[in-house]
Amino acid sequence: MAMKRASAAPGAKTLSAGVVVVRFHNHRPRYLLLRAYRYWDFPKGIVEPGEQPLQAAIREVAEETGIRDLIFRWGDIHRDTPPYGKGKVARYYVAESPRDVVRLPVNPELGRPEHQEFRWLSYEQARSLLVPRLREILDWAHAIVTRTEPY
């Protein structure tokens, strides 16, 4: 029996899952962005058959950055992008990283790292590098992580 990919929206052909990774420096959030060519994004990748989106997001962060100890202090809340490309939808969660060490390992399928660069950036710096659909995700995540009352 063939397993179906998780779908986020009607008409979506492919669901990706990722994490807006935040690290606090001097009580201020810094967001992890990865660059592939001229395009900046959060760590994310395709949800594999039989895999839950949150599991895929955690796996993708580990594969793309080496970060394996994410803290989901805001729970499993998520937000989906509108469909883009050929019916893709990306689902993002928010998690904290206890350390700022990032590795860009070689992807065995590509024979090179998927990304050429990473940066820990302030909200304003990150926002200036992202395309509009990802700015919406950053705005949503930033509102969550800067909230003063318990979530």
Alpha carbon distance 7, 22 (integer Å): 26
In this predicted model, what pLDDT tens digit does every residue of 3-19 receive, in sequence order?
334 444 555 579 999 99
In this predicted model, what pLDDT tens digit does every residue of 132-142 receive, in sequence order?
999 999 999 99
pTM across the whole model: 0.87
Domains of the chain in sequence order: 14-145 (3.90.79.10)
Alpha carbon distance 112, 104 (integer Å): 9
In this predicted model, what pLDDT tens digit does every residue of 21-67 receive, in sequence order?
999 999 999 999 999 999 999 999 999 999 999 999 999 999 999 99
What values do phi and psi take at 143, rounded to 5? -60, -35
